């Protein structure tokens, strides 16, 4: 089945990441086609690929569309049954593909799958982006098995299972191409961050399943393309999370949850300012204004079949910051 798989890496000025991690992808991905979508890089990424890895297929975007739009544009040129959307700062391991494809083969309702995501810099621990599979609480706060907000767990085999989850990490996202395009891909307005959660939520609303397998593992640097300490990341996360909820939450929960979240965002703005600097307070405000600008387009994208049971726990922010829940 790996012959029906395209491993697709989105690149923007990421020569150093390609140089470091592309060899592991080539070594452990026999029979799969490997593509690099170049998001209009201005460094010498393309020259490097053509010189050092001439067998890698290259798709050139005509401008930087961001993570979401960049994949949407580039994937139009790739015809295959399965995509693996892989960050350029990910090291893959031996036999990382077969457990995923076996799950797809067992259940045609599974649309997307992620492997175990561990930290490249501290390989005993899970990595922020994905860990042991993504979940969401009743207020729309994303978390993972193995990571709650900034607290990550040590990998002791506690997530070596295969189980249904709510969202699969975009750092290593296996997805059926048919299902990807039936949902019109990522929401390109997001640019980057939480676009994979939104896509998975839409897939679940349409009756599909999202899965995790601990039989496959990868190591992710994290922050390789946008460091989480930068205000721009705070802005994108705030704006995109609110837009995602407006698009996917069922009525009547939608109104009170959005209102409550905006109050909590106000408190978070001062927390971010204290922890990371005043620029993050302004990033939260910008995120809200960006959300307001998105409202007309987001309402048009709402579907008619929002699931009611989208969350696995309630009030995670209070359990974490007041109740000290870290795992």
What tokens were used for 150? 């900034």
Half-sphere exposure (CA, 13 Å, Cβ side) for 181?
13
Domain with CATH 3.90.550.10 in the chain: 5-220
Distance CA 180, CA 186 (A): 8
Q: What is the mean pLDDT of residues 144-164?
A: 97
- pLDDT (tens digit, 9 = 90+) per residue, 279-305? 999 999 999 999 999 999 999 999 888
Report pLDDT for 224. Answer: 56
Q: What is the mean pLDDT of residues 51-58?
A: 97
Distance CA 77, CA 59 (A): 7
Computed over every residue of the chain, the mean pLDDT equals: 95
What tokens were used for 57? 């297929």
Report pLDDT for 222. Answer: 86
Residue 8 banded pLDDT, cuts 50, 70, 90: very high
What would be the CATH architecture of the domain defined by 5-220?
Alpha-Beta Complex (3.90)
Of 174, 205, 281, 187, the residue nearest 241 (C-alpha): 187
Distance CA 209, CA 243 (A): 22
Residue 209 banded pLDDT, cuts 50, 70, 90: very high
- pLDDT (tens digit, 9 = 90+) per residue, 70-122? 999 999 999 999 999 999 999 999 999 999 999 999 999 999 999 999 999 99
Report pLDDT for 225. Answer: 54
- pLDDT (tens digit, 9 = 90+) per residue, 25-35? 999 999 899 99
Report pLDDT for 22. Answer: 98
How do strand 142-144 and strand 134-136 relate by DSSP bridges? Answer: antiparallel
Distance CA 101, CA 254 (A): 36
- pLDDT (tens digit, 9 = 90+) per residue, 217-243? 999 998 755 555 689 999 999 999 999
For 142, residues 6+ apart whose C-beta sits below 8 A from its C-beta are 134, 135, 136, 167, 194, 197, 241
Burial readout 259-270 (b: 16 or more C-beta within 10 A, e: otherwise): eebeeebeebbe
Q: Is the pTM value of this prediction over 0.85?
A: yes
Residue 149 banded pLDDT, cuts 50, 70, 90: very high
Better-scored residue on pLDDT, 2 or 149? 149
């Amino acid at each position: 089945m790996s012959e029906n798989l395209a491993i697709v890496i989105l690149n923007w000025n990421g020569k150093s990441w390609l140089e470091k991690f592309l060899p592991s992808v080539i070594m452990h991905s026999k029979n799969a086609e490997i593509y690099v979508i170049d998001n209009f890089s201005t460094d010498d990424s393309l020259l490097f690929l053509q010189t050092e890895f001439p067998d890698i297929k290259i798709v050139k975007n005509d401008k930087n569309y961001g993570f979401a739009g960049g994949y949407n544009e580039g994937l139009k040129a790739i015809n295959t049954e399965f995509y693996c959307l892989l960050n350029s700062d990910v090291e893959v391991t031996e036999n990382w593909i077969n457990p995923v494809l076996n799950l797809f083969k067992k259940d045609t309702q599974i649309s997307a799958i992620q492997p175990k995501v561990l930290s490249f810099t501290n390989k005993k621990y899970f990595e922020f982006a994905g860990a042991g599979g993504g979940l969401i609480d009743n207020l729309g706060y994303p978390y993972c098995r193995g990571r709650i907000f900034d607290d990550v767990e040590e990998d002791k085999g506690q997530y070596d299972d295969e189980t249904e989850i709510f969202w699969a990490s975009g750092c290593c996202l296996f997805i059926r191409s048919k299902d990807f395009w039936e949902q019109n891909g990522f929401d390109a307005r997001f640019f980057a961050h939480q676009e994979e959660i939104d896509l998975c939520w839409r897939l679940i609303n349409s009756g599909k399943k999202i899965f995790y397998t601990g039989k496959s593992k990868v190591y992710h640097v994290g922050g390789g393309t946008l460091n989480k300490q930068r205000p721009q990341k705070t802005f994108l996360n705030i704006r995109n999370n609110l837009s995602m909820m407006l698009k996917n939450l069922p009525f009547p929960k939608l109104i009170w949850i959005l209102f409550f979240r905006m109050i909590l965002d106000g408190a978070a703005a001062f927390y971010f300012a204290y922890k990371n600097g005043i620029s993050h307070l302004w990033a939260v405000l910008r995120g809200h204004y960006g959300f307001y600008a998105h409202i007309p387009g987001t309402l048009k994208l709402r579907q008619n079949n929002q699931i009611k049971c989208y969350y696995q726990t309630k009030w995670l922010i209070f359990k974490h910051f007041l109740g000290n829940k870290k795992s």
